[in-house]
Amino acid sequence: MAKKRILSGMQPSGLLHLGNYYGALKNWIELQEQFECFYFVADWHSLTTLYEDPSHIKKYTFEVAVDWLSAGLDPGKSTLFVQSRIPEHAELHLILSMVVPVPWLERNPTYKEKQVEVKNVDMSSYGFLGYPVLQTADIVLYNADYVPVGIDQAPHLEISREIVRRFNGLYKKKVFKEPQAKISEIPKLNGIDGRKMSKSYNNAIYLSDTEKDITKKVKAMLTDPARGLRTDPGDPDVCNLFPFHKLYSPEDMQKEIDRDCRTAALGCGDCKLKLVDTMLEGLRPHMERRREIAAKPREVEEILEEGTRKAQKVAKATLDRAKQAIKF
């Protein structure tokens, strides 16, 4: 039986951090074993927020690809490509935009939230309103069965399904497949200051950080805020450091830390040093791979070119079907 198909995209708005890894990339890597996967850098989507200064998008497109490859996305298993190199995305976006009622887009919660949330960029653009339409084109071009995304993207997937039903209904033909969201559970991993890990909060640990960067960041981490003195007992359940121990430290060490923190036998400074050790040990293979891959930009470029070629064939066939449906 043919493998089911997975498709997902990531915006190249910066270097990838551990939040991106545990929130999406790790899952993508696992899905490669069971599914036929298409993963792409959504550079056109990042223009919705970066249109005033798009000068770094190209650089980050490369860096994201390097992060992907060093973390374990395998071009032998998955098709890796760049959205803007496949004009079929833009063309289908245009065709779809003709059949999508604007109120569907205006009631998209992300659209409304960003108008309030994003202060430094005017988010009232036509392109941003149409974000889910472009995303629908991304998905249906590849006849994707499942789209792995975080829960925040669930409304977008719902819009995609509605668009598919509307298009197929209007032209009385099953041109597009209705995609299903594959919502991944995201472990709670905050940044070093205890807020959600994010580039814009300046609190992230990056997949491209050096040992020195990581050591410095771990030492600066917020711990249990109620533990004022070294002699005060702490609570790992509210400590911002402990979730990292759960990811990187062996289980017996976690138990020991949990016990000794609660009795104040262990101080936060020593607890951080333990984390620096286990984290560096865990991340070192990745760091080495990343250095090797980043040193061969030509090979990275070839992987993206090859992926783009493969993806474009599929995209073109779908676009042709869409054009036939509208008798163009």
Which residue number, 150 or 194, has a Cβ lying nearer to ligand TRP?
Answer: 150
Is residue 89 close enough to count as binding ligand TRP by CB under 6 A?
Answer: no
Alpha-carbon distance 254 to 91, whole Å?
Answer: 53
Is residue 45 close enough to count as binding ligand TRP by CB under 6 A?
Answer: yes
* Token pair listed for 246: 């759960």
The answer to whether 205 and 214 are in contact (CB under 8 A) is yes
The answer to whether 205 and 197 are in contact (CB under 8 A) is yes
Which residue number, 121 or 264, has a Cβ lying nearer to ligand TRP?
Answer: 121
State yes or no: is 199 an active-site residue.
yes
State yes or no: is 217 an active-site residue.
no
Is residue 88 close enough to count as binding ligand TRP by CB under 6 A?
Answer: no
Which of 8, 70, 208, 240: binder of ligand TRP (CB under 6 A)? 8
- In angstroms, give the least distance from the CB of 298 to ligand TRP: 27
Restricted to residues 131-150, the positions that interact with ligand TRP (CB under 6 A) are 135, 138-139, 147, 149
Which of 5, 6, 11, 28: binder of ligand TRP (CB under 6 A)? 11
Alpha-carbon distance 45 to 67, whole Å?
Answer: 19
Which has the closest alpha carbon to 61: 303, 230, 251?
Answer: 303
* Token pair listed for 70: 């060093």
Which of 9, 19, 191, 267: binder of ligand TRP (CB under 6 A)? 9
| CB contact set of 46 (below 8 Å; sequence gap of 6+) | 11, 12, 13, 57, 60
For residue 188, the SS3 value is coil
Alpha-carbon distance 72 to 24, whole Å?
Answer: 12
State yes or no: is 196 an active-site residue.
yes
Instruction: Write the binding mask 169 to 208 for ligand TRP: x where contact by CB under 6 A, - elsewhere.
Output: ----------------------------------------
The answer to whether 29 and 61 are in contact (CB under 8 A) is no
Restricted to residues 48-77, the positions that interact with ligand TRP (CB under 6 A) are none
> Which active-site residues does the annotation give?
114, 196, 199
Q: Which residues bind to ligand TRP, rule: CB under 6 A?
A: 7-11, 42, 45, 135, 138-139, 147, 149, 153
